[in-house]
Structure 1
Amino acid sequence: MTETIETKRKRLHMRSIRRGIKEMDLILTAFATAELGTMDDADLDVYDALLSENDHDLYQWVSGTSVEPAPYRAMMGRIRAGAVGVTKP
């Protein structure tokens, strides 16, 4: 059975709000609320893969303390843009 784009968006939203560390809950919930509705299927696939990564790695990528893998670079840039105030002033 193929997942509809709306079902995928709902699933990814749930995965965004229930993370392992509170900082990523805050960052990804805000990102998902603002961005999932406008993402196409290709972007949703990248975001889905990104959500499978370890929260500590995600936080290092979003805070700029380490560099994210190339396939996530554009998506992390979008996430990072909305995380100002959570990761740094």
Structure 2
Amino acid sequence: MDRETRLKRLRFRAWHRGTKEADLLIGGFFDAHHAGWSDAEVTLFEALLEEQDVDIMAWALGTQPTPVRFAGPVMAALKNVTYVPIAE
């Protein structure tokens, strides 16, 4: 599948997690960062989306240690939650 189609599918999956909190965290992260990802980072994000939302959110918020397989620049960016829009 070409990169554009792959990213469209990932965007859908990132924004349709099952809870509004996970949608904002994971979908917002995707929107803010996907344009600069390498193919390896896209593959890593695909693998991350296979994990449970509660785990992803715990890793992003630092309440649980990040598994070694996800450690690196993508997770470091996910932990910087400034990309989550906050309604005033």
Please tell me the TM-score bracket, short chain as reference: 0.7 to 0.9
Gaps of 5+ in 1: none
1:55-78 deviation per Cα after TM superposition (whole angstroms, max 9, x unaligned): 011111111110111121122211
Q: 2: CA distance between counterparts of 1:32 and 1:85? A: 9
CA contact (8 A) 2:44 2:70 kept: yes
Q: Provide TM-score, normalisation by structure 2.
A: 0.85
1:35 paired with 2:54, answer: no
Runs of 4+ in 1 over 3 A off after TM superposition: none
Q: Provide TM-score, normalisation by structure 1.
A: 0.84
What SS does structure 2 have at the residue aligned with 1:45?
helix
Percent same amino acid at aligned positions?
34
Letter in 1 for 2:28: A
Q: 2: CA distance between counterparts of 1:16 and 1:34? A: 12
Q: 2: CA distance between counterparts of 1:70 and 1:20? A: 26
Match of 2:13 in 1: 15
What SS does structure 1 have at the residue aligned with 2:17?
coil
1:1-89 mapped onto 2 (5 Å cutoff) = 3-74=1-72, 75-81=74-80, 83-84=81-82
Change (3 A) 1:26 1:7: same
CA contact (8 A) 2:13 2:49 kept: yes
Gaps of 5+ in 2: none
1:31-74 deviation per Cα after TM superposition (whole angstroms, max 9, x unaligned): 11111122111100000000000001111111111011112112
Give the length in aligned residue pairs.
83
